[in-house]
Amino acid sequence: MFVGHYGPSFAIKSVRPEIPLWLLFIAVQLVDVAWAILVLMGVEKVRIVPGITASNPFDLYYMPFTHSLVAAIFWSVAAALLVRPLLGLTTLAAAVWVGAAVFSHWVLDLLVHRPDLPLYDDTMKVGLGLWNHPVIAFSVEAVLLFGGMVLYLERTTPINSIGRIARMPPPNLSLNPDASPAALARRPLGAG
């Protein structure tokens, strides 16, 4: 999963506005950040196998420390425990939601990955394989991302002019008889 991971961060922000959005963005991708670091260190493994899925050629054949179910639970609990002392989030509920954001990554990866997500260590691998159905995989990503953004925009208040402009409704000409297309057409030229 790619941009779809950000859907839960917008959705969680809409119910827990006290959690910074940047923190939720990091939380939902924490597992992949750790994965990239461990791949660069040679601890977890990926190779290119053209055609291994219809969407991308990544054979993610060894990633027990970031993408096993046990590891995902570990990262989620660790994030929930550390986010309060490190970042000063005040409520336990906020910390739990940050943990849930971290865990959402594994759940969404489960939808799209081929069976390369171990339940623990490097064994009992699962994955529902939507990457082999690119149109469905793309649609799921779009629904997640835009669904989360809609929730966020509906429930939060813009704090600056950029946010207010983004939220401005389109002008409704029909509510103002003087501004309706018919009235504007009747107005003499130069009458402003």
CB 5 within 8 A of CB 108: yes
Q: Of 120 and 184, which has the nearer Cβ to Zn ion?
A: 120
Angle at 145 between CA 143 and CA 149, to 5 degrees: 110
User: Cβ of residue 113: shortest distance to Zn ion, in angstroms?
Assistant: 8
Q: Of 109 and 116, which has the nearer Cβ to Zn ion?
A: 109
Query: Strand pairing partners for 59?
Result: 47
Query: Strand pairing partners for 45?
Result: 62
User: Cβ of residue 166: shortest distance to Zn ion, in angstroms?
Assistant: 29
Question: What CA–CA distance (Å, rounded) separates 182 from 173?
Answer: 10
Q: Of 13 and 67, which has the nearer Cβ to Zn ion?
A: 67
Consecutive H or E run containing 65:
none
User: Cβ of residue 44: shortest distance to Zn ion, in angstroms?
Assistant: 11
Question: What CA–CA distance (Å, rounded) separates 167 from 158?
Answer: 8
Q: Of 32 and 59, which has the nearer Cβ to Zn ion?
A: 32
User: Cβ of residue 58: shortest distance to Zn ion, in angstroms?
Assistant: 10
Binding site for Zn ion (CB under 5 A): 32, 109
Question: What CA–CA distance (Å, rounded) separates 75 from 100?
Answer: 10
User: Cβ of residue 72: shortest distance to Zn ion, in angstroms?
Assistant: 9
CB 104 within 8 A of CB 8: yes
Q: Of 15 and 107, which has the nearer Cβ to Zn ion?
A: 107
